[in-house]
Amino acid sequence: MLKNALLVTASIIVGAGGVQLLHAASGAPAYSIALIDIKDEAGYKAAVADVRKRIADHGGKFIITAGAAGGMGEMTSPTGDKVPGRLVVSEYANMDAANKWWKEVGEQDIKTLGQHATLHLYFVEGVTK
């Protein structure tokens, strides 16, 4: 009976680890979505270059940079909602990679940018490619 209980427990542990491994390797990208309203243009511009480099160093790829303050694309709201000054979408290999950036440098990066802008940041898991 003890042997069976140990076998069941070991199977559960191995199974849970396998699920985590499959989830990490599933190929589902993760996206960070930042809605930004800049309050101090010069301060933001001075800080954002270092933040962009750290995002790239952590595997982040810029997909969308739209709006004012150096955004590369136009941004509108077909429903008439207020459009943020800037919208930035970055892609990571998976949610683990996005969370790694956040834990290692992202939280401090956002606090730094927050001195110059009102910023809302979201992580979203994408559809498996």
What is the CATH number for 78? 3.30.70.100
Determine the pLDDT at residue 123.
Answer: 96
Q: Does residue 53 lie within any of the structural domains? A: yes
Helix (H, G, I), strand (E, B) or coil at 50: helix
Q: Does residue 10 lie within any of the structural domains? A: no
Helix (H, G, I), strand (E, B) or coil at 9: helix
Q: Does residue 81 lie within any of the structural domains? A: yes
Determine the pLDDT at residue 19.
Answer: 45
Determine the pLDDT at residue 87.
Answer: 92
Q: What is the mean pLDDT of each run of 10 residues along the chain (129 residues)?
A: 55 57 69 95 92 94 80 82 91 96 95 95 91
Q: Does residue 55 lie within any of the structural domains? A: yes
What backbone torsions phi and psi does residue 117 show, to the nearest 5 degrees? -160, 155
Domain assignment of residue 81, given as a range: 28-125
Helix (H, G, I), strand (E, B) or coil at 5: helix
Q: Does residue 20 lie within any of the structural domains? A: no
How many folded domains does the chain comprise?
Answer: 1
CA distance 113 to 116: 5
